[in-house]
C-alpha cells in the first residue's frame, strides 16, 4: 500500500490523506530477447531462448525441436560442401508424425508400429570442383525413444529392407536417378537416425568421390 498526503485539486476540491494500492508493473518481452528486464525494485529473467527456458521449450515440443535441428544440420552440410569448392543446390522437406507414409519396404511397417516425432528429408545437387555432377539424398528421422531408434538404424542399414522414401523420387527432375544404396552411410545420435546416399548424375564419377561425400554428410 502507498500513503497519499492530503492535497487540494486544481478546482479547489480538498482531498484527505488516504492509502491506495501500489501500481502494478508490466513487463514487455520481445521474442528472441535474451537478458534481464528490471521491474520496480526487482528483476525478471527473460532469457526465453537460452538456458533452462530453452531446454523446457524443447522438451515441450520434441518434434519441432528435432525438425529444427535437422534443418540446421542440413544447412551446415551445404556450407561444408561449399567451403570445399563445390557448388550446391538444395531442396528440403519436413514432416511431423506419420512418417510411415514417407517410407517403403520393411521400414514403412516399422514406422507404422513405432511412429516418429519428425522426419526431415533433403537432396543436394553437387557440382564437384573436379567437374563431377552428384546427387546426395538424406533423411533425418527423430524416433520417440532410444530403443526404437536403435532398431530402426539396424533395419535401414541392412540392404534390401527399405528406407525412408528418398526425396529425389518425388521430384520429377531426379526420378530417373537410380538410388542403389551402394554409397550409403548412416549415423545415430540419441533418438535421431540420419542416413545418406550419394549417386552420380552423369557417367565418369569415381566411386571414391561418392564415398567421400556420403561420409562427409554423416560425420561433418
47: its cell numbers = 532469457
Higher-pLDDT residue of 215, 156: 156
pLDDT band at 199 (very low <50, low <70, confident <90, very high): very high
Q: Which residues pair with 189 in a beta bridge?
A: 192
Report the chain's terminal Cα–Cα distance, integer Å: 61
φ, ψ (nearest 5 deg) of residue 184: -115, 140
Give residues with Cβ within 8 angstroms of 159, minimum separation 6. Answer: 181, 184
| Strand 103-105 with 14-15, pairing | unpaired
pLDDT at 13: 63
Opening angle at CA 63, ends 62 and 68, nearest 5: 95
Q: What is the mean pLDDT of residues 55-78?
A: 70
* CA dihedral angle for residue 144, residue 145, residue 146, residue 151, rounded to 10 degrees: -70
User: For residues 111 and 105, is the Cβ–Cβ distance under 8 A?
Assistant: no
Query: What's the pLDDT tens digit per position in 174-186?
Result: 999 999 999 999 9
* Mean pLDDT over the full length of the chain: 78
Q: Provide the strand spans (E) within 79-201.
A: 87-96, 103-105, 118-127, 133-142, 162-164, 184-189, 192-200
Query: What's the pLDDT tens digit per position in 140-165?
Result: 999 999 999 999 999 999 999 999 99
Amino acid at each position: 500500500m502507498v500513503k497519499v498526503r492530503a492535497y487540494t485539486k486544481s478546482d479547489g476540491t480538498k482531498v484527505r490523506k488516504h492509502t491506495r494500492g501500489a501500481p502494478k508493473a508490466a513487463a514487455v518481452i520481445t521474442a528472441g530477447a535474451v537478458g534481464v528486464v528490471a521491474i520496480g525494485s526487482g528483476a525478471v529473467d527473460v532469457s526465453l531462448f537460452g538456458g533452462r527456458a530453452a531446454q523446457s521449450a524443447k522438451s515441450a515440443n520434441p518434434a519441432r525441436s528435432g525438425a529444427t535441428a535437422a534443418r540446421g544440420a542440413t544447412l551446415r552440410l551445404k556450407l561444408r560442401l561449399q567451403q570445399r569448392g563445390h557448388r550446391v543446390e538444395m531442396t528440403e522437406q519436413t514432416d511431423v508424425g506419420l512418417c510411415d507414409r514417407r517410407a517403403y519396404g520393411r521400414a514403412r511397417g516399422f514406422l507404422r508400429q513405432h511412429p516418429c516425432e519428425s522426419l526431415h528429408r533433403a537432396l543436394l545437387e553437387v557440382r564437384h570442383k573436379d567437374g563431377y555432377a552428384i546427387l546426395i539424398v538424406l533423411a533425418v528421422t527423430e524416433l520417440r525413444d532410444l530403443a526404437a531408434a536403435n532398431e530402426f538404424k539396424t533395419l535401414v542399414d541392412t540392404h534390401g529392407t527399405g528406407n525412408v522414401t528418398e526425396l529425389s523420387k518425388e521430384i520429377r527432375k531426379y526420378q530417373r536417378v537410380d538410388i542403389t544404396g551402394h554409397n550409403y552411410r548412416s549415423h545415430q545420435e540419441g533418438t535421431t537416425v540420419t542416413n545418406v546416399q550419394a549417386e552420380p548424375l552423369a557417367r565418369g564419377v569415381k566411386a571414391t568421390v561418392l564415398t567421400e561425400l556420403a561420409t562427409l554428410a554423416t560425420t561433418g
